[in-house]
Amino acid sequence: MRTWRSNRVVFLVVCLLIGVALIVSSRAGLLAPVEGVAAVPLNFVSGILNRIGLGVNRGVTDWAEMETLRQRNADLEEALARFQSELVDLREIASDYQRLADLLEYTTTAQNQQVVAADVISLDGNPQIDSIVINKGTRDGIAVGMPVVTRQGLVGRVLQVSADAARVLLITDPTSAISARLQTTRAEGSVVGQLTGNLRMTFIPLDAQVQVGDLVITSGLGGNFPPNIVIGQVVSSLRQEFELFQSAEVRSLIDFNTLEIVLVVTSFQPIDLSVFEDEAGSGG
């Protein structure tokens, strides 16, 4: 045991002496060639470790930046969705304001007319009838036959009514016939709907001047509509030889596919002239 301890002390002393000798030799420059040779592999290993360390550090930094970018991207997407929702709401408000302003303009220019505003709740898909459904009915003073309009002109007339809804027959329906006149020449005729969704003015006198762009308005004859409501605008005219009358194609100023708000003229009641026709027939 003593021999091992004494040998260990001797070994430690020898190591210290060797270390001191190496330090002194290195400072004196005696170990420079050996240090140069030994430094080559050490520098190589150090370079590899340094590159590995830089790569790991760069990867950690990139990962942290990527997480930050992901969070910022998520925040921006959330803000964009919120702004888009607000933009849609603002556009709807602006659109409603414009529609209501148009209707207000009509009510202020129309004289002696009482109207009820109604929302279009259905573009009737019935292939047998061209109509819409509105959310006002008898509770709001709506009755069958009342005219329905917008600022652009005549929409149609109330065909059926319930307590809180009504069906409106559009002027484009083939069963619709409206006594009309040309605004410029005052020539009279009848505007009927077409299967194509267009309008045609018939029974125009042959000697009447029909110009493209002429406005067609209700005449009030027959008592079904009040006079001077715009029906549409002439886009073409047709005069055939040996015909007793001429006709004109008319385009409504209303886009019936985008109707949202309409006005029902509640102050107008259609006049029933059938009683006079019956009296004339019995008198003959």
CATH number at 121 reads: 2.40.10.340
Q: Find where tokens 């109330």 sit.
A: 158
Task: Grade residue 157 by pLDDT with cuts at 50, 70 and 90.
Answer: very high
Confidence at residue 142, expressed as pLDDT on a 0 to 100 scale: 95
Confidence at residue 29, expressed as pLDDT on a 0 to 100 scale: 58
Q: Count of domains in the chain? A: 2
Q: Find where tokens 């055939």 sit.
A: 240
The tokens of 225 are what? 């509509």
Asked if 183 and 244 sit in the same domain, the reply is: yes
Asked if 153 and 264 sit in the same domain, the reply is: yes
Please list the residues that pair with 234 across neighbouring strands: 250
Query: Is the distance from CB of 158 to CB of 166 less than 8 angstroms?
Result: yes
Higher per-residue confidence, 183 vs 55: 183
pLDDT tens digit string along 131-142?
999 999 999 999
Asked if 160 and 263 sit in the same domain, the reply is: yes
Is 140 within the bounds of a domain? Answer: yes
The tokens of 200 are what? 């045609």
Confidence at residue 94, expressed as pLDDT on a 0 to 100 scale: 56
Q: What is the CATH number of the domain that holds 180?
A: 2.40.10.350
Confidence at residue 67, expressed as pLDDT on a 0 to 100 scale: 76
Asked if 194 and 245 sit in the same domain, the reply is: yes
| pTM > 0.75: yes or no | no
Which structural domain, as residue segments, surrounds residue 199? 173-251
Asked if 128 and 246 sit in the same domain, the reply is: no
Query: Is the distance from CB of 176 to CB of 231 less than 8 angstroms?
Result: no
Is 197 within the bounds of a domain? Answer: yes
